[in-house]
Structure formats: structure tokens, C-alpha cells
Amino acid sequence: MSMSSRTDLAEVDLLELGDLLAGAGAPRFHARQLFQWIHRRGMTDFAAMTDLGRDLRRKLADGFLVSTPAIVRRDQSIDGTAKFLLELGDGNLIESVYIPDTPSNTFCLSTQVGCAMKCAFCLTGRMGIVRNLTAGEIVGQVRVLARELGMRDKRFNIVLMGMGEPLHNYDATMKALRILADEQGLAVSPRRITLSTVGVLPALQRLATEPWMPNLAISLHATTEDQRDMLVPVNRKYGLKDLLDACRRFPLKRRNRITFEYVLLKDVNDTPEDARRLVRLLHGIKAKVNLLPLNEAAGIPFERPSDARVNRFAQVLADHHLTVSVRKSRGRDIRAACGQLITASTRAKAPGQRLAELIHV
Ligand code: SAH
């Protein structure tokens, strides 16, 4: 049987796995074992799954596969951050980042190849949207990082802050989170997962109805409609006011808060007046603010404010009893920091050529 006609088990949750086994004439109860092999132990070779019978293993190898993103390159930052350039089955490239000690260890995952949101200060937006990732490709990033970093049995947090807009790829993202949370697999509790979004409103409202949900981070970045229209173009469709209303109504567990991310751009949105406006906007929302001084890059028409300016902005928020943190930029030396992830497709290219063509800005 050819590769393409085999069903990819990387894409399925435990329930679907049972159905597939039953459909192939194998006992449904093996789904648990198989799921544990794939997700908890990171095994993709059916022949090595020794507690499954020989016949079943052969049947699995004939009809199924477990696809895994391939590592094209690993960059190691002096601060411990590691950036993985991964190649998907169709040659597209994505990046995933490991950030140690923040204070926990964090995996930063991509949800799309490229991004359609075109935020004015973000490099990924320059790529445009190539395609959505599948649930299997999102989970696959975790399997690869856990394997490479020897972290299968360790605790880690996950942030959906890599390439792409997770709420623009809702179904695959939520399915991936369900697979990751499964007790038979990596058992990553939703409390350890943060979904970061520009605020695609219909999807945000849908998220509010999910039985369990990840922590929420909103990429706000501006305090007036005009300013946000310019910096985060999706605001022209789903405006600031409606976004904040949705946040106000968002069901939060006790003691949980929404994180508002705010990229600081010199002389654009970094004045004390902006800070005071932000305080007023967040009034009545269980919020904390994460300030992101711009990570500069060639072709990004903004500058990073001085530390003094960042501190002054933070101080205004703190004076008004808002919890505020300044995101320490990690992995800047390997272009792994926020907004610096960008790839070019490798499709049908020779490996040498591929590397040469990766965009370095
Ligand atoms: N699309 C989602 C996930 C990306 S998260 C979202 O926008 O929330 C990455 C975070 O880094 C976002 O808050 C994004 O706005 C921010 N970011 C993008 N470019 C940046 C840059 N050049 N410097 C600092 N932060 C940036």
C-alpha cells in the first residue's frame, strides 16, 4: 500500500483511534495502548510497539502511519532558548520554540504556516497565510520538542504564540489541545496552555462556550480604534470596543485573568497617555498586562522604546493597580523572539537550496 493511502494516526483523538481500529477489524480496546505509544512514548514505528500482537502490528503498518514534522535545523540561543525549523509532509516550514525557565519551561507552537492577520510590526504577517496546520501537525510539534529536549516526562507549559493566529484555525487548534490534554497521552492540562489571539470575535465567542479552555491572552497593542486599525488590521472588522466587551463577558475560572499583550512601539503607542487610556479600557476586566517592547527587524517600520520609556509605561499601570510584566525578549540572537518567526517554503527544492533560501532578515 502506498504512503498516501494510509491513514495518519497523528491526526486522531483517542475516540477516533478506537473507531479506526474497529473499522480495521481490530479490537477497539487497543486504542489506549496505541495512543500511549504515540503520544506518551513518542513511538511512531508500529513494529516496535511490543505489547501489541504481531498481527495487529502488521495490520497497523499496512493501513496506517504516524507522521511527524522533520527537523530541518535547530538554533540554540545563548539564553537557552532553542528554535526548531520543522518541515511538514508537503514541504512547508514552520518554527517552534523552546523557552526554558520563564519560570517554567515553555513550548511555543505554531498554528498556521504564515499568518493572515498582517499586524504592522510582525514578520510572520509578511508571509501572508500559506495554510492552516492540522491538529496532528500542532501536536506533532510537541512530540518533536519533547523528544529532542528529553522532556517527555517533564512538566512544560505551552503557548500558542508561534506562527499563525490560533482562532483563525479554530477546529484544528482545539482538537490539538484535546489530544494534548488526554490523560493517556502527554496529559498537558489546559491550565498550562495559553492561547494568544488578536481577537477573531466569532471564534472568541465560541471559545467561551468550550467545556474546558486554555488561558487566554489578547494581543491588544493599542488603545483607540484608529490606532488599532493601523497596527492590528483585523480591528477594522472586529473593533476594540467589541473585543473588550467579549473579554468582559468571557467566563473565567476563579482567580484566573486574561493577559493583555501590548507591544510597545516608540512614539506610536508608548506615551503615559496611552498607558492611562489602557487602564481605563481594562476597567472591570480581570486583567493583567504583558508589555512587549518591540523586537526590531529589518523591514519593520517601528522602533523599540528605551527601557526608561518602557518602565514609565509600566509604572502608570502599576500605579493604577494593574498587574504588569515586561516580557523579556528570549532568543533574539537566533530570531526566535516574538514576531520574528518567518519561513520560506521548501517545496520541491534540494536540501542545500532550501537552507540557502530561508529568509534571513
Ligand atoms: N496571532 C497570535 C499569536 C502570535 S503571539 C496573536 O497575535 O496573539 C505573538 C505575540 O508577539 C503577539 O502578541 C504579537 O502581537 C507579538 N509580536 C509580534 N511581532 C512582534 C515584535 N516584532 N516584537 C514584539 N512582539 C511582537
Handedness of CA 225, 244, 239, 292 (dihedral sign): positive
Instruction: Dump pLDDT digits (tens) for 93-131.
Output: 999 999 998 778 999 999 999 999 999 999 999 999 999
Is residue 295 within 6 Å of ligand 1 at its C-beta?
A: yes
Residue 73's beta-bridge partner residues? 85
Q: Determine which one of 115, 119, 122, 338 is catalytic.
A: 338
- Which ligand 1 atom sits closest to the C-alpha of 122? 19
* pLDDT number for residue 335: 86
Contacts of residue 39, defined as CB under 8 A and 6 or more positions apart, other chains included, come to 139, 143, 179, 182, 184, 185, 186
Indicate the pLDDT class of residue 5, thresholds 50, 70 and 90.
confident
* Residue in 163, 338, 340, 341 to alter for ligand 1 test, most ligand atoms within 8 A of Cβ: 338
* Residue in 99, 133, 167, 196 to alter for ligand 1 test, most ligand atoms within 8 A of Cβ: 196
Task: Inform me whether the pLDDT recorded for 53 exceeds 90.
Answer: yes
Give the global pTM.
0.93
Place of cell 496505541: 34
Instruction: Dump pLDDT digits (tens) for 191-236.
Output: 999 999 999 999 999 999 998 889 999 999 999 999 999 999 999 9
Task: Inform me whether the pLDDT recorded for 347 exceeds 60.
Answer: no
Report how far ligand 1's centroid is from the alpha carbon of 141 (Å). Answer: 19
Task: Inform me whether the pLDDT recorded for 344 exceeds 60.
Answer: yes
* pLDDT number for residue 339: 78
* pLDDT number for residue 345: 63
Nearest protein CA to atom 3 of ligand 1, as residue? 161
CB 327 within 8 A of CB 289: no
Helix (H) or strand (E) holding 290: strand 287-293
Averaged over 269-281, what is the pLDDT? 98
Q: Is 4 exposed, middle or buried (0-12, 13-18, 19+ CB in 10 A)?
A: exposed
* Residue in 161, 169, 216 to alter for ligand 1 test, most ligand atoms within 8 A of Cβ: 161
Reply yes or no on whether 95 is catalytic: yes
Report how far ligand 1's centroid is from the alpha carbon of 339 (Å). Answer: 5
Is residue 108 within 6 Å of ligand 1 at its C-beta?
A: no
